[in-house]
Chain A
Amino acid sequence: MSASPALSLAFLAVVLGLGSSAISLLAGRQPRVLRLLAMPLVGLCGLAALGAGVLALTQGGSVSATLPLGLPWMPWHVRLDALSGLFLMVIGLVTSVLGLYGPAYVRSFEYGRDSLVALGGFTGLFLVGMLLVVLADDAFLFMVAWELMSLSSYFLVAFQHENAANRRAAFLYLLMAHIGGLTILLGFGVLAAFGGGFDFDAMRAATLSPGWASVAFALAFVGFGMKAGLVPMHAWLPEAHPVAPSHISALMSGVMLKVAVYGFIRVVLDLNGEVQWFWGVVLLAVGSVSALMGVLFALMQTDLKRLLAYSSVENLGIIFIALGLALLFQATEHSMLAALALVAALYHVINHALFKGLLFLGAGAILHSTHERDLEQMGGLLRRMPWTGYFFLIGCLSISALPPFNGFVSEWLTFQAALQAWQLESGVLRSLIPIASAVLALTGALVAATFVKVYGVAFLGQARSRHVRRARVVPFGMRAGQGVLALLCVLLGVLPTQVIHLIDPVATELLGTGMPQAGASGWLWLTPISAETASYSAPLSILALALIAGLAIWWFKRRTVRGVRRCDPWDCGFAAPTPRMQYTATAFAQPVRRVFGLLFEIEEDRTTGEDGVQRYRLRLTDRLWGLVYAPVARGVESASRRVVRLQSGNVRVYLGWTLATLLVLLWIISGA
């Protein structure tokens, strides 16, 4: 069907995903099949996708094929170019790790009541859906794959459906996924009407007036933004992501959100033609708000997985800030700078997939070993689960954008792009970008606070409950899965020039310009614009860090007068501290909660019970629920109450309505 090895590998990935799904469905009552066969197949599917993506990126160009599927007059087209290749690589990276992590993790479900058939079956379909979205080259296949992805992930969110909260989260997710799907469909409708066909080639060839192009942009932004969890369309995300099994949370947060970013880039930068400058402004504004709100809510959470989900909102905000910069620069004909911003966004896409995957897998390991998601019950896990502890630390350092880890590189590139704002002619735009970069800086610092809280409360200090005190090391496969992602986080932080070299074809393909100057001073030096403007040498900085630290430790080991002696904690000489006297996650967040109090709806009260014990209760809700979601829900309810009047229960009335509809339709057709 196709001669290209990259496309063949991509097809192999799809087939493996389908195979994994089919095996789980057929296995029925054999729970072991999922662990021994279906999960490894998922891993192989990931490896194939990874290979296809890397091949497509390194070979350049694009290959397309037509599938003998779909409608007779509208066959399915697939196409693999640099952009698809990059996202295939992202899907492949996280999925292949699940092949290691998954078998051990799903084992804990074997003795439960939950249906493993559903878990395995829908995991495979979910993967196939994501792969096909990225490969699709016409709106028809794209929407089918998109819905496959949304629906199968709905079943994964609803996996533990005995719990009412999970059902509610899944329903909210389903609802918002479909509103999003609808707007995407309408967006494609606009593009297809001008292009005269549903395949992407026709849409690319079409020329839209700025007004219609903006309509298509708005529809795509709402649709994909809803999937990406941008504020204020984020409400489903912190509900849905935490309740899925942890490896699925890693897939949803790490990968599915990126598929939404893919769709957005594909529609706006590839299909939609001429870019308007105010699209960039919209993206900057929404991205900044998402980043800031996301991290503030993350900092307030005490449920580890929920916290990670909110942090995804923040990271998607950062990605959209960088994309906004790319659109602004592209619209004002600074393609080199647009390429820089786009590379920053795509770098962050890869990074977020890696570290969010790593952190969710770490949360899964904790859940597996202690059955606990609540930070307030954790503590001292570093000594009980050292491997998970160190890998999780790397994840925390990476997500907090600290050098020399990967998160820092993408944030650094974003700042570099923002600092080129002086090249813009318009004074308004020149002053908007600094405000966005101030928000980005504030976000970065708050992320560090969030992850100091997470790591300090969960892994350091002393255990706050008995089952956490007895935590066990997780099986090898789970540790290996986290280890691979942690290693990748370090590598992507230390070797940025190579990664940018890999991403570069995407920028060249979409914007016509790449970043040839990034590695111009050799692989050691990352110089996004020129060596005089900015340079960063991650390899040398890590070398210096390691060298001095090594020397210092060696010196002390040699010269130490006396060794280290263990003693009781000092704590200013007060009574020996108990685990209950430690700072809790809620207490840690209190100063920031107070500083940014206006953004939250806080209910707080102190009561003294009959037993004389004082109790403190804190409830913190999103103001947007009251401002946006509740009015919409009320509106829909009252509208549907009015519609109810049509349903009298009388067959003759229904027939009357049907006849009336038919007449109106006939009248419209005859008129046209």
Chain B
Amino acid sequence: MISAWLIALLQALLCAALAPLLVGWVRKVKARLQNRRGAPVLQPYSDLRKLLFKETRVAHTASPLFRIAPYIVFVATWLAAATVPLIALDLPTARIADIIVLVGLLALARFFLALAGMDVGTAFGGMGASREMMVSALAEPAMLMAVFTLAMTAHSTSLVSVMEHHLADGFVLRPSYLFAFGALILVALAECGRIPVDNPSTHLELTMIHEAMILEYTGRHLALMEWAAQIKLLLYGVLVANLFFPWGIGAAFGPLALGIGLAAVVVKLGVLGAALAVGETVLAKMRLFRVPAFLNLALLLGLLGLLSHVILEVGA
């Protein structure tokens, strides 16, 4: 029991530690694809370190909520990530929160992120908050539909049970899974603020969504916000990787199983990160009002997945 909690703690720390690496990897691959040399893969760590020790400035007009928000955003995102089985199944943390709680924790983080954007009283902050809430209002139901498809198949909303069911089932190509997979990919792009929904490296004011909300943050507050965003990217990567391709994840707590689990998830994330980089190089950012069509597609895919499951697969 104690060892299980220790491994859970280790996994949570690993989540936070690996997140900047994933972002560094994506940036590196993207740079190479664009014939640039790019910053080192470990650059995000240096950025975080620099920000954490820099002086923190807060606008005169900011309320206390502005200073609390980074902590809540970071902690809620991290807690959500800690409940996703990363290298081993059946951890005690996974029982604290199921898929719906995970979506709820991310929504909590987003709520405070949007409020922080509106707090200083600048036009850009409000703009970012308004757009973020619109995007998430359409993305969140799509996400729930996608995970409900999996949950209904496994008869459980616990991530561990879903993965165990999938592992026990072997490799079966279900139409519902394909739909859910498509939906989850689209949602992940929107929620993590990647191209074609939002551009993480934009500095053009009118196209920003996520960047507009954290525009007023500096120093350690900014570091926490950035880190939370990186953890969120990792979280979605792990969700996509481990929910649909759970093979390799450690079923026992032995060092060998954990080692294989870690290696497996690093490889899976590496592939996903490279795919993301290719996608971001090939695609252009959409106009804001094309985004709802994109997300409606995600919602539709999710719903189709759920319907094809209950109609085609339950009785059969």
Task: Give chain A's interface residues, CB within 8 Å of chain B.
Answer: 379-380, 382-383, 393, 397, 400-403, 408, 412, 415-416, 419, 421-422, 427, 430-431, 434-435, 437-438, 441-442, 444-446, 448-449, 451-453, 455-457, 459-462, 525, 531-537, 540-541, 544-545, 548-549, 552-553, 556, 560-572, 577, 579, 581-583, 587-592, 594-595
Contacts and interface: CB of A to CB of B under 8 A. Distances in A.
26 contacts: A402-B104, A434-B145, A434-B307, A437-B148, A438-B144, A438-B306, A452-B115, A455-B115, A456-B119, A460-B65, A460-B118, A461-B119, A461-B121, A536-B100, A537-B95, A545-B76, A561-B54, A562-B55, A564-B67, A569-B122, A572-B205, A582-B122, A588-B133, A589-B130, A591-B131, A595-B138
A561 B101 CA distance: 36
Interface in B99-146: 100-101, 104-105, 107-108, 110-111, 114-115, 117-127, 129-131, 133-134, 136-141, 144-145
Nearest to A457: B118
Contacts of B78: 548
B156 A401 contact: no
B74 A552 contact: yes
Contact of A460 (B115, B123, B148): B115
Given A535-B95, A582-B122, A590 B60 contact: no
B251 interface: no
Nearest to A577: B122
Contact of A569 (B64, B75, B121): B121
Contacts of A571: 120, 122-124, 215-216
A564 B220 CA distance: 10
Contact of A462 (B67, B121, B292): B121
B158 A582 contact: no
A27 B105 CA distance: 52
Contacts of B55: 561-562, 565
Interface stretch (B167-175, B256-264, B308-316): B308-316
Contacts of A525: 95
Nearest to B116: A460
A365 to B, nearest CB: 17
Contacts of A403: 97, 101, 104-105, 108
Given A533-B157, A577-B123, 4 more contacts: A534-B157, A535-B158, A591-B289, A595-B134
A536 B137 contact: no
A473 B1 CA distance: 50
Given A431-B310, A553-B71, A569-B216, A534 B59 contact: no
Contact of B123 (A582, A590, A591): A582
Given A421-B310, A532-B158, A552-B74, A567 B57 contact: yes
B137 A449 contact: yes
Given A438-B303, A592-B134, A460 B63 contact: yes
B130 A583 contact: yes
B156 A533 contact: yes
Contacts of B67: 564
Interface string B264-299: 000000000000000000000000110010000001
Interface of B: 53-61, 63-65, 67, 71-72, 74-76, 78-79, 82, 95-98, 100-101, 104-105, 107-108, 110-111, 114-115, 117-127, 129-131, 133-134, 136-141, 144-145, 148, 151-152, 155-158, 161, 205, 215-216, 219-220, 224, 288-289, 292, 299, 302-303, 306-307, 310-311, 314-315
Q: Which of B55, B58, B121, B144 has the most CB of A within 10 A?
A: B121
Nearest to B126: A583
B71 A445 contact: no
Nearest to A541: B96
B96 A548 contact: no
A427 B129 CA distance: 41
Contact of A533 (B155, B205, B288): B155
> Which 6 A-B residue pairings sit nearest by Cβ, starting from the closest?
A583-B126, A456-B118, A461-B121, A441-B141, A449-B133, A591-B134
A422 B314 contact: yes
Contact of A446 (B95, B96, B121, B137): B137
B97 A441 contact: no
Contacts of B64: 382
A567 B311 contact: no
Contacts of B205: 572
A583 B314 contact: no
A456 B76 CA distance: 20
Contacts of B57: 564-567
Nearest to A553: B71
Contacts of B215: 570-572
